[in-house]
Amino acid sequence: MRPQPGTVLGGRYELISRIAVGGMGEVWKGRDSVIDREVAAKILKEEYLSDQGFLDRFRAEARSMGAVSHPGIAAVYDYGEETGSPYLVMEYVPGEPLSSLIDRNVVLPEADVLELTAQSAEALGAAHRSGVVHRDVKPGNILVTPDFRVKLTDFGIARVTDQAPLTKTGQVMGTAQYLAPEQATGKGSTPKSDLYSLGIIMYEALAGRRPFTGDSQVAIAIAQVNTAPPELPTTVSEPIRRLVDSLLSKKQELRPESGEALATAARALRAGDVAAAEAAVPQMIAGAAAAASAHEAVTRAFNQPAADGTRVMDQSEASGAAPATAPATATLPQQQDPDGDLDEADEGTMSTGAKVAIGVLVALVIAGLAWVLWIFFGGSGDPDPQPTGTPTAEVTEEDATITIDPTAYIGQSEASATRNLEQLGLEVSAVEVESDRAAGTVADVRSGNNGYDFQEGDTVTIEISTGPAEVPQEDTQDDSGSDEDSGQDSGQGSGSDDGSGSDSGSGSDDGSGSGDGSGQDDGSDQGGDSGGDDSQNGGGGNEDGDGTGDDDQSGGGGNGGGEGDDSGSGSGGSEGGLGGLSEQVDSTNGGE
């Protein structure tokens, strides 16, 4: 079934307009005719109807969302099938996805980010308590209502803990930019995987960019596993940076314990209570301790006491100290014997100690500098992830084929579609077209030389709607007769009559007629009213009238009878007109 406006699902849900196109299906706005309320209907795409895996996943979404009841999660009302196409009826949420807010504003205020995070974390916590892991938390699946309330949607790839998995071992599910490291490596998802994805969203909303990027989805996933996120801008307050760092930890045990704990910490930071936030998420303190430890190490490395290598040794210190620990660069006093001669043995011993000390200190300084540089530029601070020395280009072949689904981009804003295509390694060209879609959204994606199969670096052309074209208004009034139309009209009328007699005439193309009678009557009629302007298009006909004088008739009339100054006109049939109405102007096409 291909949904369109007016389609009725299950005998009660009438589709009104399409809202969006997702990976598995289309989402439509509709109305429940039974209880008269707005709903959202998600319908599985036609190309997936024969794929049992997608059918199972679609049904699993209905079960997952139906298992959770929370104000922050879009409610499920019904599930059914129409002509073999499964559909899911959900709560209609007015508003827009968080991705649109970020696209429009780039960077959101800290207070708004914390509030959105708190509401999203509460909703995820409710799902986790019900045994449901979302596995695809991203800005496009977080709807924000006009009163700034959050609704989580699209549990299409959610995993229910007490159900058999729908994916094979090692299969990666989710969107690469928001994948947790354990998801990227195919090790499965946990509630803390959803919290990691929420941390990516926080980072993006605060910094105006995502922390991990790459030339392909695979390269981005590898960066999620191996690379530490860049530091947030210094304009972000330090406690919020520590909260984001705890969410983006590669180790799950270093992330917040639950969605509820994260919500408590976010609201505490919004209120300025850092201690309450640290009590809810102790991992923030661990992050602070790690930062302090690194700072202290750097301080020690670059602020060694000068006495360790440059002071002049006192005689008393020299007599009590071991020769090997003599200063490396000191000006050593020459010890003399009672006779005033230099003690050669002592001089030789001090020279050997100085050389040993110089070697040890140089080695220590080099090792310390190397360690400090590795902390700041080479390592992530986590022993588990592997070094990032392997180029990401080895992940995919240079000429790897990229296949896109054009329907997935139709309806998106130009900025969103361009960003999503560029993340696949494609160049984007936009052209404006007239379309019935909203202005500024994608109306279509043009195919390339190989259909929708592209190579990295190829250009994809997207059509951006400028809105529907204005339909010119048709001129419904015809001021002149037509020589090519024919028809018969009959009319009756009564009016002023100067005499009685028999009047017969035949219409001609120039609208002239002749009649026999007594008296004289000049009339020019249009459309069946005497005393006015009347033009009638039609074929030749007969007009019998009882009147006086000559009667001028424009066009060829049908059969008409009347008294006085009257001519009747009609459209393909019999029409009676009241003579003598001089104000009305009629124009009719005979034979219509």
Active site residues: 136
Determine contact, residues 429/459, Cβ cutoff 8 Å.
yes
Backbone angles phi, psi at 522, to 5 degrees: -105, 125
Q: Taking every pair of C-alpha atoms in the chain, what is the biggest distance, in angstroms?
A: 174
Strand partners, 132: 160
User: Cα separation of 238 and 528, whole Å?
Assistant: 88
**Contacts of residue 366, Cβ cutoff 8 Å, sequence gap at least 6:** none
Exposure string over 184-207, b if 16+ CB within 10 A, otherwise e: beeebbbbbbbbbbbbbbbbbbbb
Q: Which helix (H) or strand (E) holds 259?
A: helix 259-270
Q: What is the dihedral of CA 518, 524, 526, 527, to 10 degrees?
A: 0
First CA to last CA across the chain, in angstroms? 40
Determine contact, residues 127/133, Cβ cutoff 8 Å.
yes
Determine contact, residues 411/437, Cβ cutoff 8 Å.
yes
Strand partners, 306: none
User: Cα separation of 144 and 94, whole Å?
Assistant: 8
User: Cα separation of 265 and 256, whole Å?
Assistant: 9
